[in-house]
Amino acid sequence: MSHPRLCVVGLSHKTAPLTVREQVAFNDAELDALLKRLQESPGVGEVMLVSTCNRVELYAGVDGADAGETVRNVLRGARPGVDLEPHLYVLDGEAALRHLMRVASSLDSLVVGEPQILGQVKAAFARARQAGTVGPLLSRAVPRAFQVAKRVRSETDVAKNAASMASVAVDLAKQIFGDLGRRGGLVLGAGKMSELSARHLKSAGVNELYIVNRTPARAVELAARLGGVAAGMEELDRLLARVDIVLCSTGATEPLIRAERVERAMRARRGRWLFFIDIAVPRDVEPEVARLENVYLYDADALATVVAANRAGRSHEAAAAERLVDEEVMRLTSEARTQDVVPVIKALRQRFLTVAEAEVERAAGKLAGASDRAFVVQLVHSVVNKLLHQPLTALKREAAGESDELALAVCALFELELELELGSSSERPREPQPPAQPGPAAVLRSVKSGDNSGER
Amino acid sequence: MPPLFPVTLIWYAVATTLYLVHLVWGTSDSASGLPRTAQAALVCAFISHAIDIGWLCTHGLHPVVNAREALSFASWLMCGAYLAVSLRYHVPVVGALVVPVTMVLDVAARLTPSQEAPHASPLLGMVHIILAMGGVALFAVAAGGAVFYLVEEVQLKAHKSGLLFRRGAALETLDALNRRCITLGFPLFTLAMITGALWVLRLHSPRGLWTPEYVISTLAWLIYAALVLARLRAGWRGRRAALMTLAGFVTAMTVLVLYFVRGAVGA
């Protein structure tokens, strides 16, 4: 039996265009169903699904060489009509752990340093826990990713310089309108992203803010929090003629704003500029809208191009943050390796104690009473612990340093009957391949059995 | 050669350099730092240039005495027009286009051989030239804004941040600058057309108003008139207004080039 390892299968803004991502976005019901289906898949012990505008990623604790492929097939099966194959990536072991930490720290985000992603990963983790799909591997790795994300935010300037998607959009709005003080804004959708975006607009000086949502109660609630005005969907045409900036972030599966609607609004506006920021996936604004005169449309990918152009200035801070991630990955990996030799330590200690206790038993007749016997047992335990302290410390140190030799030597020397999986895995090729060299566990078994074939 | 010309040239060069540096490496804060220093240098150039023009006047070389002085005067007016609109609109990127042109025109004026202008009606001619120069100076600033508007519009539509991103030149500001310059320049240009017609008629030229200069000037006036009307009545703005501004400016510049060439060769 091998140890479970972390595996990531997914696609993101780096590998898939918006047209693909908007077809893969999952709603809440689909997320729960997918989590359950994955957990029931062979070789998949635990799973978490992160689904945002810019990424859909499955983090799974897998066991066995083909488990990553299983996860991949389940993801492909969830969207049978979409060709996901060219856009999917699979990361395994340490590479998966590093990726998780980079994602949570917003180093893999469309806008490096943006704060939303940490909340989104936390929400994904909470959902997985609620669905009962979190096991010991994710329980250990994900909170560590949150810790490193906090360190990145507090110890580097990545977060200080971070321009979220919304703040980049505000910069673009200023490029069109200049001062936003006398501008009107319309926020379409009352979710978390809408609120964040609306706050950016407010802080940029937009003085008139309308919130439109399919569920009026949520619009009223958000408007009260932001000091805006809630409006119904039926008022959309009137508002399009009035406001200057429209921020869309609904969960609608079809575009809510089509070109004909904007054409009507532009006539009513007498050609005044209108700026659409559509961060919804799937998109809320029909792409044809961008062709209209004095209308500017930026969807998530369009914002990404602007962000990428401005990213160079933050490379220094990002490098510092990457170092923090590396440190944490090394620490966690080292801890995991130390965990790998725990059975060896336990077995060795048990072997010593068994021998010592057997000797005490043999000498039991010569001892005065039960209290003497208890004293001697305590004494031999103490002697065993002291004798083993240095060798076991060395064993842990060696294991943390990625070396299995000492553990193998101990097993061979003391003939410890163990089935162990030592060592670590790294980024895995897309197609499952046989290991190029026999794994340490195979080597261990070979030592025990005298077989040199290395086959599992 | 006016005494302060080298000083004027240095100030223009400093302002040009600072505006160009701002265009390439500047930040969004258009009201401080580099643009402010550039504007201060431009004010110095403007004052120095004005002193030169005044000194030339005291020596009988008033701004419309010949093509050379008219060209220098036009560049000074252009500089003044830009400084005037800068008080209302903070668009240092436009300075990166207008100020180098101003400097080049002033240098070109000093390198042009001196020729006397017709003196049939000196006062009317002077009024006509000053009005025309004032109008064209404002149109030049409007055209500078229009160029940047079109470049920036293409970049925004193509989702490219480009050179102008965060340089303090919002589309709406550039369009407002365009509207203001055209609104101020058009009446001046209209008066210049009227005084020009009167001047030409007083010269008793056999061709009357059917000179290439006057016909092309009329065409330029019609373009600007259509632009003013379209802005007022049809709500034209943005790209269309910018394109029309450029069309009008190219036409108006053609007239100036014709006058300048004729003046320079003594035709």
Cα distance between residue A249 and residue A138, in whole Å: 30
Search chain A and give the residue with CA nearest B30.
A178
Which residues in chain B touch residue A179, judged by CB atoms under 8 angstroms apart?
Answer: 170
Q: Which two tokens stand for residue A41?
A: 């898949």
Cα distance between residue B177 and residue B218, in whole Å: 24
Put simply, the answer to whether A296 touches B157 (Cβ < 8 Å) is yes
Mutate to test the interface with A, among B171, B173, B174 (most CBs of A within 10 A): B171
Cα distance between residue B239 and residue B242, in whole Å: 5
Of B156, B160, B240, the CB nearest to A176: B156
Q: Rounded mean pLDDT of A257-284? A: 91
Cα distance between residue A109 and residue A303, in whole Å: 12
Residues composing chain B: 267
Nearest residue to A91 (alpha-carbon basis) of A7, A155, A3: A7
Search chain A and give the residue with CA nearest B90.
A178
pTM of the model: 0.68
**ipTM of predicted assembly, 2 dp:** 0.84
Put simply, the answer to whether B170 touches A171 (Cβ < 8 Å) is no
Nearest residue to B61 (alpha-carbon basis) of B110, B108, B16: B110
Nearest residue to A419 (alpha-carbon basis) of A442, A451, A400: A442
Put simply, the answer to whether A271 touches B236 (Cβ < 8 Å) is yes
Classified as helix, coil or strand, A276 is strand
Whole-number pLDDT of residue B134: 92
CA dihedral for A148, A154, A157, A159, sign (positive or negative): positive
Search chain A and give the residue with CA nearest B172.
A177
Active site (annotated) includes residue A7: no
Put simply, the answer to whether A305 touches B160 (Cβ < 8 Å) is yes
Which residues in chain B touch residue A296, judged by CB atoms under 8 angstroms apart?
Answer: 156-157
Search chain A and give the residue with CA nearest B169.
A175
Of A293, A296, A310, the CB nearest to B161: A310
A21-30, A225-234, B17-26, B211-220: the lowest-pLDDT one: A21-30
Q: Which two tokens stand for residue B141?
A: 């600033």
Mutate to test the interface with A, among B29, B172, B233, B240 (most CBs of A within 10 A): B172
* Backbone φ, ψ for residue A46 (5° rounding): -150, 155
Search chain A and give the residue with CA nearest B156.
A296
Q: Which of A7, A53, A248, A411 is catalytic?
A: A53
Q: Rounded mean pLDDT of A54-65? A: 85
Neighbours of A180 (CB within 10 A): 22
A127-141, A273-287, B29-43, B73-87: the lowest-pLDDT one: B29-43
pLDDT classification of A421: cutoffs 50, 70, 90: very low
- DSSP output for B188-243: HHHHHHHHHHHHHHHTT-TTTT-SHHHHHHHHHHHHHHHHHHHHHHS---THHHHH
Mutate to test the interface with A, among B159, B166, B233, B236 (most CBs of A within 10 A): B159
Put simply, the answer to whether B170 touches A178 (Cβ < 8 Å) is yes
Q: How do residues B9-19 score in pLDDT, each as one tens digit?
A: 999 999 999 99
Nearest residue to B45 (alpha-carbon basis) of B96, B101, B102, B91: B102
Cα distance between residue B50 and residue B48, in whole Å: 5
Cα distance between residue A346 and residue A352, in whole Å: 10
Q: How far is B164 from chain A (nearest CA, A)?
A: 9
Omega cis (within 30) before A282: yes
- Residue B88 sits at the chain A interface (C-beta within 8 Å): no
Cα distance between residue A308 and residue B237, in whole Å: 31
Put simply, the answer to whether A178 touches B157 (Cβ < 8 Å) is no
Q: Rounded mean pLDDT of B156-165? A: 76
A48-52, A176-180, A197-201, A431-435: the lowest-pLDDT one: A431-435
Of B152, B172, B238, the CB nearest to A177: B172
Mutate to test the interface with A, among B28, B94, B161, B233 (most CBs of A within 10 A): B161
Classified as helix, coil or strand, B92 is helix
Nearest residue to B222 (alpha-carbon basis) of B200, B244, B199: B244
Q: Which two tokens stand for residue A95?
A: 């590479």
Q: How far is A175 from chain B (nearest CA, A)?
A: 4
User: Would you say residue A164 has pLDDT above 80?
Assistant: no
A30-39, A97-106, A157-166, A261-270: the lowest-pLDDT one: A157-166
Q: Which two tokens stand for residue A303?
A: 């914002």
Which residues in chain A touch residue B28, judged by CB atoms under 8 angstroms apart?
Answer: 171, 174
